[in-house]
């Protein structure tokens, strides 16, 4: 029996990268995917054509009205949402000398307000059917050290806390809420716009920062997401699952 038979799963930012891999993994387990994209319609269309029963929905998760429209469209075209994967996010690295209000507002709006708007609009559905929420945090938000990533890390630490608080707030509806904190994973976010030489240097650099001496792939995160979406994790709630190859550059000063 497939693990997610007939489940309707909304995955934000599933046109590319980690969200795309999660969509493929979940669809292979019988789920119907509401593929959310913001700009990359072509990639979203391509994915839809590969995943039977899926539909695409444009929305900017940082715009509450746009999220509301998308959820209404999903009701009309697919039905009630069973599982929400808050995956959409952006990365931006800058030092305190490069501080810029606009950049900071944008990263908070997408990485933090996005999941908040999504939860707000999907809650009536999730309350009906003991739904599941999976948030995409980051190991940056739980302590790994890379220069220039302080603001990004704060947004992801907030996503980790959002996960814990939501699990508590929603316990009466038996909605399980967990997060994944990926390490460095190959995607447009980490390798986009880099030359082949730069990309290889980055791969080797991050590989050397893991105990397992491995480069993370989107499929590693999709495996963790499937675990959190399925019965195998039925006794887990409010947790942040770190999937990072065992990062050794960690700023956490206590265990």
According to the binding rule CB under 6 A, does residue 19 interact with ligand NAP? yes
Q: Is 101 exposed, middle or buried (0-12, 13-18, 19+ CB in 10 A)?
A: exposed
- Which one among 2, 5, 6, 39 touches ligand NAP, defined by CB under 6 A? 39
Residue 37 annotated as catalytic: no
Q: Which is nearer to ligand NAP, 112 or 167 (CB)?
A: 112
Site for ligand NAP in 42-61 (CB under 6 A): 60-61
According to the binding rule CB under 6 A, does residue 12 interact with ligand NAP? yes
- Neighbour tally for 50: CB within 10 Å: 12
- Which one among 28, 68, 73, 91 touches ligand NAP, defined by CB under 6 A? 91
User: Rounded CA gap, 65 and 57, in Å?
Assistant: 14
According to the binding rule CB under 6 A, does residue 13 interact with ligand NAP? yes
According to the binding rule CB under 6 A, does residue 245 interact with ligand NAP? no
Q: Which is nearer to ligand NAP, 4 or 117 (CB)?
A: 117
Cα 251 to chain centroid, rounded: 23
User: Rounded CA gap, 198 and 193, in Å?
Assistant: 10
Structure tokens at 153: 């890390």
- Neighbour tally for 47: CB within 10 Å: 24
Q: Which residues bind ligand NAP (CB under 6 A)?
A: 12-13, 15-19, 36-40, 60-62, 87-91, 110, 136, 138, 182, 184-185, 187-190
């Amino acid at each position: 029996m497939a693990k997610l038979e007939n489940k309707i799963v909304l995955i934000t930012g599933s046109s590319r990268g980690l969200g795309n891999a999660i969509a493929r993994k979940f669809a292979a387990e019988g789920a119907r995917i509401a593929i959310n994209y913001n700009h990359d319609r072509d990639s979203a269309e391509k994915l839809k054509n590969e995943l039977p029963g899926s539909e695409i929905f444009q929305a900017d998760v940082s715009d509450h009205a746009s999220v509301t429209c998308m959820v209404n469209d999903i009701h009309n075209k697919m039905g009630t949402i069973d599982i929400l994967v808050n995956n959409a996010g952006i990365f931006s690295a800058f030092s305190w000398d490069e501080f810029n209000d606009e950049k900071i507002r944008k990263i908070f709006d997408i990485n933090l307000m996005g999941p908040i708007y999504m939860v707000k609009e999907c809650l009536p559905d999730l309350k009906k059917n003991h739904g599941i929420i999976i948030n995409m945090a980051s190991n940056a938000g739980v302590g790994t050290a890379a220069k220039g990533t302080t603001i990004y890390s704060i947004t992801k630490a907030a996503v980790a806390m959002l996960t814990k608080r939501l699990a508590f707030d929603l316990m009466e509806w038996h909605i399980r809420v967990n997060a994944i904190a990926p390490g460095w994973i190959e995607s447009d976010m980490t390798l986009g716009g880099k030359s082949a030489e730069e990309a290889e240097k980055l791969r080797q650099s991050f590989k050397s920062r893991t105990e397992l001496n491995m480069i993370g792939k989107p499929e590693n995160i999709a495996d963790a997401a499937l675990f959190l979406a399925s019965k195998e994790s039925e006794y887990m709630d409010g947790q942040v699952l770190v999937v990072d190859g065992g990062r050794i550059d960690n700023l956490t000063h206590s265990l």
